[in-house]
Amino acid sequence: MSEDLSTLRQEIENTPLDAEEAIDAFRIRFLSRKQGVVTALMKRIPEIAPEDRKAYGQDVNALKQRVEERLEGAQQALASGPSAGGGRIDVTLPGRPVPEGSLHPLTETMDLIVHVFTSYGFQIAEGTEVEDDWHNFTALNFPDDHPARDMQDTFFIEEGKTLLRTHTSPVQIRVMKSQEPPVRVIVPGRVYRNEAISYKSYCLFHQVEGLYVDKDVTMADLKQILHAFARTLFGHDVRMRFRPSFFPFTEPSAEVDIWWQDPDLPGGGRWLEILGCGMVDPNVLEAVNVDPEVYTGYAFGMGVERIAMLRYGIDDIRTLYENDVRFLKQFTS
Ligand code: DAH
């Protein structure tokens, strides 16, 4: 091999080919049709003296082959290499952050509530969000002139007939119609009310309803399960109280409050209502052909937003529906 050719050979072997631009420049320098160095050497073959031609041709061909091999190798390394810029990895670069998702605080709270009750043997039941007046009101012992039946509180689809359910209680009726006692269900779901939207009320929200109907179910059973529930959600030393109340579908009825400690308040805290409950009214059992002389039951219902707001210290219900990532990111665990 002549001296010229061996210098070229060295250049071919030693040119770094670690980036797209370098590879292109290399191809042009050696193989371009017009000014490629190896192309020019090939073109000269016919001019070489016949006795030297064979050896020269072989040398030039070998060079061409090396150029092609290096090009191919470099292309492959680039395509499979870890970084597009070349075959080398800078191990000192910080990693790219992977965006982390999280459960919405409502989902998290709902899941936790459902978990407490399913672990006590409750089954999950679901009804429909579009409900009829009978399931939503009549069968639940609402008198005809009850204010909740008013257009102002209820989104009617057809007035007096179909509506968006205002609570999850109609699922009590649906379950008892389709299943004989014993019945023990928990009903998570979405409900709708025609209310002015503000920091404390929204036109839709979530409830979890509970129903247990069997022989000899008593208010003591109700207190026991709700106490277990409150301890799981608000801590083992939670203080709770049952306050007499009224709901058309339970008798007696109660509201449950928990003591919310807050050193800024006079008295060091205050009672906050978390749910409504009671013993299933005999009229409700009769509406679904369950004999109230044989069976008794308890029911309870709670607003999930309210409980989530208490747990997380959220003071405006609307933030739960705005999908603002700055808000939601705070719940990434
Ligand atoms: N349905 C009631 C509401 O939306 C909540 C409720 C209260 C449900 C007492 C119950 C219950 O099952 O026993 O305000």
pLDDT at 82: 58
Nearest to 233 by CA among 301, 299, 304, 327: 304
Are 42 and 86 a contacting pair, CB within 8 Å? no
| Ligand 1 pocket mutation, candidates 185, 209, 298, criterion most atoms within 8 A of CB | 209
Quick count: other Cβ atoms within 10 Å of Cβ 131? 25
Q: Which residues of 194-229 are buried (b: 16+ CB within 10 A; e: fewer)?
A: eeeeeeeebeebbbbbbbbbeeebeeebbbebbeeb
- CATH number for the domain running over 105-331: 3.30.930.10
Confidence at residue 333, expressed as pLDDT on a 0 to 100 scale: 66
Task: Supply the residue whose CA is at minimum distance from atom 6 of ligand 1.
Answer: 301
Residues in the chain: 333
Q: pTM here?
A: 0.73
Is the C-beta atom of 167 inside 6 A of ligand 1? yes
Q: Please give the pLDDT value at position 175.
A: 98
Would you place residue 204 in the very low, low, confident or very high pLDDT band (cuts 50, 70, 90)? very high
Average pLDDT, the chain: 92
- pLDDT above 70: percentage of residues in the chain: 97
Q: Where are the domains of the chain?
A: 2-79, 105-331
Is the distance from the beta carbon of residue 303 to the nearest atom of ligand 1 less than 6 Å? no
